[in-house]
């Protein structure tokens, strides 16, 4: 199996699975904009919160690594330096975003200890939002830059990469101004599906 097919297979599997893992956490039914509601929901299953969030982040690392590896060949063509910047942004972004999963787990554990720890748990949850919004904002910016460079170079499927550029830019906006809002459904689900579709095209070639 060629490296191109391996990259495609990784994208095809890990991108949608990462989103699925977030849906497996106990906070999916809570009001995303209500910190205490999220903390109390996480406290109902602190181990599940920690495990599923960490698995989601591991899968995110896999698909970011695969996508940035694919994007490496863009560096030798027109606007190659921008592709390099995009790759760096995605790597830095996912590294920062790991803090979100870690602090979510810590918050859930603290909240499960009862009312005396709720204020501390809320602070930890706030920290997780800070890491998540910063990390994924940087990650989405990198994905948008790579997608736009690929479109200009006429590499890959135009529809898939154009869509990825759009949802990633929505993600940048959402992370900056409304990270807990419904708008983040667009970049999370959209990027997962489009990266999986991109992976399918690489695996099929």
Rounded to an integer, the average pLDDT of 19-46 is: 88
Q: Which of 101-105, 116-120, 199-203 has the lowest mean pLDDT?
A: 116-120
pLDDT at 86: 96
For residues 150 and 156, the answer to whether their CB atoms sit within 8 Å is yes
User: 135 pLDDT band (50/70/90 cuts)?
Assistant: very high
pLDDT (0 to 100) of residue 54? 95
Question: Span 111-125, mean pLDDT?
Answer: 88
Query: How far from 96 is each of 11, 57, 99, CA to CA, in Å?
Result: 21, 11, 6
Q: What is the pLDDT of residue 102?
A: 95
| Window from 6-20, 73-87, 143-157 with minimum mean pLDDT | 73-87
- Predicted TM-score (pTM) of the model is 0.93
Give the pLDDT of residue 115: 78
Q: Give the per-residue pLDDT at 10.
A: 96
Could you give the CA distance from residue 4 to residue 66 in angstroms, rounded to a whole number? 10
Helices (H), the chain: 3-23, 35-43, 46-71, 80-111, 118-153, 158-177, 185-204
Q: What are the b/e assignments for 32-53, b being 16+ CB within 10 Å?
A: beebeebbbbbbebbebbbbbb
The mean pLDDT of the chain is 93
For residue 96, give the DSSP letter: H
pLDDT reported for residue 28: 85
d(C-alpha 31, C-alpha 37), whole Å = 6
Can you give the pLDDT at residue 166? Answer: 97
Render pLDDT for 35-57 as a digit per residue (tens, 0 to 9): 888 999 998 999 999 999 999 99
pLDDT of 32 > 80? The answer is: no
For 72-115, how does the pLDDT look when each residue is reduced to its tens digit (9 = 90+)? 989 888 888 999 999 999 999 999 999 999 999 999 999 888 87
**Res. 1 pLDDT band, cuts 50 70 90:** confident
Q: pLDDT-derived band of residue 155, with 50, 70 and 90 as boundaries?
A: very high
Structure tokens at 45: 């299953």
């Amino acid at each position: 199996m060629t490296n191109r097919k391996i990259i495609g297979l990784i994208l095809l599997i890990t991108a949608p699975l990462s989103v699925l893992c977030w849906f497996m956490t106990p906070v999916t039914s809570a009001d995303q904009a209500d910190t205490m509601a999220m903390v109390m929901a996480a406290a109902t299953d602190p181990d599940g919160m920690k495990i599923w969030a960490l698995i989601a982040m591991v899968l995110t690392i896999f698909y970011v690594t695969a996508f940035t590896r694919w994007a490496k060949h863009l560096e030798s063509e027109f606007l190659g330096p921008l592709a390099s910047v995009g790759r760096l942004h995605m790597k830095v972004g996912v590294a920062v975003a790991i803090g979100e999963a870690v602090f979510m787990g810590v918050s859930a554990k603290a909240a499960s200890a009862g009312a005396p720890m709720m204020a501390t748990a809320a602070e930890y949850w706030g920290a997780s939002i800070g890491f998540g919004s910063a990390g994924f904002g940087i990650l989405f910016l990198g994905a948008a830059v790579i997608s736009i460079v690929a479109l200009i170079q006429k590499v890959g499927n135009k529809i898939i990469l154009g869509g990825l550029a759009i949802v990633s830019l929505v993600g940048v906006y959402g992370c900056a101004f409304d990270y807990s809002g419904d708008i983040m459904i667009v970049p999370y689900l959209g990027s997962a599906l489009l990266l999986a579709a991109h992976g399918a095209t690489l695996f099929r070639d």
